[in-house]
Amino acid sequence: MKPTIRIMSWNANGLLQRSKELEVVLNLSKIDICLISETHFTKETFFRMKGYKCYHALHPSNRARGGSAVLVKETIKHYESTKIEAEKYQISGIKIITPVYSLEKHSTIDQVHRIVNIIEEALEKKNVCSGIFLDVAQAFDKVWHEGLNHKLKKMLPYQYVELLESYLSRRYFCIKQEDAYSEPRTINAGVPQGSVIGPLLYLLYTCDLPETEENTTATFADDTAILAVGESNEESTQKLNRAISRISSWTAKWRIRLNEAKSVHIDFTNRSIVYTPTFINGVAIPYVNEAKYLGMTLDAKLRWKEHVKKKKTELVLKLRKMYWLIGRQSTMTIGNKLLLYKQVLKPVWSYGAQLWGCTAPTNRQIIQRFQNSVLRCITDAPWYFRNDALHRELNVDSVDQVIKQRASAHLTRLRDHLNEEAVKLLDVEDLTRRLKRTKPHELA
């Protein structure tokens, strides 16, 4: 579900005299946009409302009569689109620039947390949560320029559209083979990768991805997950197939190609079920027991065991490559070795710790044992030196301490989040509790 915008209309019958009353209502009801009639403003009127921008239209007589105004929160990206000051009517209008998810302060962990919440709720209620994780073939390279310009014209002022059109047009490429170059060819699709505006243009191009009430669509750049919950996997899969059918038609219209072989289908459940296939363009999507989304591995029972195993494998491979730097025979100082560990190895396992920390203690110990081993290598510690003393002397937090810190920081950030979908993650009062599982909010 996309974040909602709270809109209020009000006949002020003289806005200046009732501004304090309006301010109280706006703050208590968390109003985003307020449409006001009978403002009774004149050219000499000065009006401000903290946290809002005001656009108004006056009565042409410049008397304290009629008039309209629009108050819009400063955090909402918009521009003034209409202003009519006629004898019989006065109209003020704005247009919201980006009808896409609010991504301000929105991280990958927030998106994964949202997915995990849906799956956890389904498991607690003995339902089946079926998911499809879509792979878009060459997502940024295949953005259709004509289609993008068509959508931008509906969202942005024409000055911005012309600027972006000139930015994308008249681009060329050539192929180099040793010292020879091919003839330049025109680039007719794609947004420049590595640019700041590239991901934003892709978001604008895909912001009208079809959604239905019976499914949850989670998008982050070109990573898309579709979830459906049902009492059986047949029911949830049917919902997915209906969603995929609409998405396939949409992608064909806007020249986006889905990679059927790299997309995956998974059923999150604690029950034994019979596989029901899903299809993209008539091709069955591969069925798996684990799926990777935004760098985190989600297994069918959401135990996080597979995620921890994959991270351990990745850590071992990285350690082998840099052992000559931080190993027992290295002449580097302990401080520099620790710095390498914290900058290269620790981020591998600490990413998403506020979520995978819900796994069983035995799985957390897998990462803890790896950290113990690395610290002993860094310091060339003898066998009789205790691991807890080593952590204390080096001022390094244990894995459980890091998980607790990350979880506390995550919850604190969510409380002040501007994104409504992120704030909903804190709504844990009415959660169904049947399984003996640790929830993300309990890690803090």
> Which tokens hold the place of 381?
């510690």
Q: How far apart are CA 63 and CA 91, in angstroms?
A: 16
Q: What angle do CA 247, 253, 257 make, to 5 degrees?
A: 65
- Is 1 within the bounds of a domain? no
Both 182 and 229 in one domain: the answer is no
pLDDT at position 430 is: 77
Query: Average pLDDT, stretch 164-185?
Result: 88
- Tell me, yes or no, whether 38 and 65 share the same domain: yes
Residue 53 has φ and ψ, to the nearest 5°, of: -105, 145
Predicted confidence (pLDDT) at residue 102 exceeds the cutoff of 60? no
* C-alpha to C-alpha distance for 192 and 177, rounded to whole angstroms: 23
Question: What digits encode the pLDDT tens for the residues 211-257?
Answer: 888 999 998 888 899 999 999 999 999 999 999 999 999 999 999 99
The dihedral formed by the CA atoms of 420, 423, 425 and 429, expressed in degrees to the nearest 10: -120
Shared domain check, 336 and 259: no
Tokens of 395: 């001022």
| 102 close to 164: Cβ distance less than 8 angstroms | no
pLDDT of residue 199 exceeding 50, the answer is yes
Same domain, residue pair 354 and 434: yes
Number of domains in the chain: 4
Statement to judge: residues 366 and 405 lie in one domain: yes
Q: CATH number of the domain at 63, please.
A: 3.60.10.10
Q: Are residues 53 and 71 in the same domain?
A: yes
**Residues 322-341 pLDDT 10s:** 999 999 999 999 999 999 99
In a domain, 198, yes or no: no
Rounded Cα–Cα distance for residues 294 and 224 (Å)? 10
At residue 425, what are phi and psi to the nearest 5 degrees? -65, -20
Same domain, 349 and 215: no
Task: Specify whether 312 is located in the same domain as 424.
Answer: yes
Residue 180 placed within a domain: yes
Integer angstrom CA distances of residue 5 from 33, 72, 218: 8, 10, 19
Mean pLDDT on 163-188: 88
Domain boundary among 188, 221, 251: 188
* Residue 339, domain member (yes or no): yes
Domain with 14 in it:
7-96
Which is it for strands 7-11 and 33-37: parallel, antiparallel or unpaired?
A: parallel
Band of pLDDT at residue 101, cut at 50, 70 and 90: very low
Q: Is the pLDDT of residue 1 over 60?
A: no
According to DSSP, residue 341 is labeled: I
Q: What is the rounded average pLDDT for all residues in the chain?
A: 89
Decide if pLDDT at 3 tops 80: no
Residue 204 lies in a domain: no
Which domain-ending residue is among 241, 269, 299? 299
Q: For residue 4, is pLDDT > 80?
A: no
In a domain, 201, yes or no: no
State both tokens at 107.
């991280």
> Which of these, 202, 79, 92, lies nearest to 152 by C-alpha position?
202
Long-range contacts of 190-199 (CB under 8 A, 24+ apart): 190/138, 190/140, 190/141, 190/142, 190/143, 191/140, 191/143, 191/148, 193/140, 193/141, 197/164, 197/167, 198/140, 199/140
Q: What is the DSSP letter of 427?
A: -
Q: Is the pLDDT of residue 100 over 50?
A: no
Same domain, 39 and 129: no
Residues 254-307: tens digit of each pLDDT: 999 999 889 999 999 998 888 889 999 888 999 999 999 999 999 999 999 999
Query: Over the stretch 19-65, which tens digit does the pLDDT of each residue have?
Result: 899 999 998 888 999 999 999 999 888 898 888 999 999 999 988 88
What is the percent of the chain with per-residue pLDDT over 70, rounded to a whole number?
Answer: 97
DSSP readout, 262-281? T-EEEEE-SS-------EET
81 lies in the same domain as 117: no
Answer yes or no: is 124 within a domain: yes
Q: Percentage of residues in the chain with pLDDT exceeding 90?
A: 55
CATH of the domain at 261: 3.30.70
Same domain, 268 and 288: yes
- Amino acid (1-letter code) at residue 245: S
Q: Is residue 200 situated within a structural domain?
A: no
The C-alpha atoms of residue 221 and residue 227 are separated, in whole angstroms, by 17
Are 111 and 257 members of one domain? Answer: yes
Domain boundary among the residues 188, 217, 250 is at 188
Residue 261's alpha-carbon distances to 110, 209, 249, 258, 350, in angstroms, are 28, 21, 18, 9, 31
